């Protein structure tokens, strides 16, 4: 059982985000939070994942959930990415990997035959009390956003 296993308190953080905001996880108490970690802005898989969450955003909001994306890209990069694909949710910049380390998503990955440190695509569902309700590691993008929405509906009894 890792420190981020379901049922444990979600590690709190405060970090710069799009829309000129500083986001603290504690600000989202009393609703569900989908915290999704992705490797890099404007790459095919990360774009598709963001688009899938965007397309289901109204349904997440109807389930009293907020979506927050996190990568190591700068706020400036995030702003362009968010604008280009019209994401209605905020993207958090974690350039120093502080949040990534709290959630243990930095892993050694194989890229073009070379080992590199990077974000393992992961999603954490945080319940209204601030506990991790579910987590997904090594996420496959296709169908993922819908699976997360289904989990929220299951937990909320909707």
What residues are labeled active site? 46
Q: Pick left, alpha or beta for residue 93 (phi over 0 → left; psi -120 to 50 → alpha; otherwise beta).
A: beta
The CA radius of gyration of the chain, in Å to the nearest whole number, is 15
Within 8 A by CB and 6+ apart from 116, the residues are: 108, 109, 110
At 22 the three-state DSSP class reads strand
């Amino acid at each position: 059982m890792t420190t981020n296993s379901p049922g444990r308190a979600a590690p709190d953080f405060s970090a710069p985000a799009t829309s000129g905001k500083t986001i603290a996880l504690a600000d989202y108490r009393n609703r569900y939070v989908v915290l999704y970690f992705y490797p890099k802005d404007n790459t095919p898989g990360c774009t598709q994942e963001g688009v899938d969450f965007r397309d289901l955003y109204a349904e997440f909001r109807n389930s009293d959930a907020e979506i927050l994306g996190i990568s190591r890209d700068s706020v400036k990069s995030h702003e362009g990415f968010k604008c280009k694909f019209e994401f209605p949710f905020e993207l958090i910049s974690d350039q120093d990997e502080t949040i990534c380390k709290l959630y243990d998503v930095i892993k050694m990955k194989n890229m073009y035959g070379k080992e590199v440190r990077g974000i393992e695509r992961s999603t954490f569902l945080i319940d209204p009390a601030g506990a991790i309700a579910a987590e997904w590691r090594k996420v496959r993008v296709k169908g993922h956003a819908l699976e997360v929405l289904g989990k929220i509906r299951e937990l909320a009894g909707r």
